[in-house]
Amino acid sequence: MKTLVILSMAVALLASPSWGYKQEDLDKLATTNTCQECDLAGADLHLAYLREANLAKAILTKAILTKAILTKANLAGADLRGTVLGVAFLPLADLREADLERVDLSHASLRGANLAGANLAGANLEKADLAGADLAGADLRGTVLTGAVLRDAKIDFADFAKAKFCNTFMPDGQRIFKDC
């Protein structure tokens, strides 16, 4: 498994231009699968295998994590503003208090993920799978939830002001066609 992580990171390194992230932080992530409070802003990590990675409080602004595997990853308190996570696989990921403002999570799997208190304002969650996710206290103002699945999700105290719902499955299994 460690070899797969290193190979994934090597491919990402070869394909990515320098965006200001710290190379030593990327190397640390590649070798240890841990990089708390690291600066990986703008890093190209698409297709990266980061299962159970510890990226708590990491700076990942404008990083590319398209189709990345982040099952059970710890991204609590991470700064992911403007990051591309489309079609990413994040089931059971810990994203508590993470800043996901304007993040592209379209078609992403977030089944059972913990997004309690996360900032998702203006995020694109079109066709995202949030079944069983914890969104308690999350900021979802202006979020696009078209075709999203929120079955069995916890949404207590979440702010959905100006969120766009069309063909969205809510926690109670009801389908909402608002904003279609």
Record the tokens describing residue 1, joined without a space.
């498994």
Mean pLDDT value of segment 117-129: 98
DSSP letter string, 72-100:
T-B-TT-B-TT-B-TT-B-TT-B-TT-B-
Numbers of helices and strands, H then E, in the chain: 2, 2
16-20, 77-81, 131-135, 149-153: least confident range: 16-20
**Higher local confidence (pLDDT), 169 or 178:** 169
pLDDT of residue 20: 74
Helix (H) / strand (E) element for 175: namely: strand 175-176
pLDDT-above-90 percentage for the chain = 84
pLDDT grade for 179, boundaries at 50, 70 and 90: confident
d(CA 41, CA 162): 29
d(CA 159, CA 138): 6
Cβ burial, residue 41 (10 Å; 0-12/13-18/19+): buried
Phi-psi region of 87 (alpha: psi -120 to 50; beta: other; left: phi over 0): left
d(CA 86, CA 123): 11
Pairing assessment for the beta strands 168-169 and 175-176 based on DSSP bridges: antiparallel
Query: Domains (ranges, CATH) in the chain?
Result: 1-180 (2.160.20.80)
Record the tokens describing residue 154, joined without a space.
């916890």
Taking the model in full, what pTM does it have? Answer: 0.88
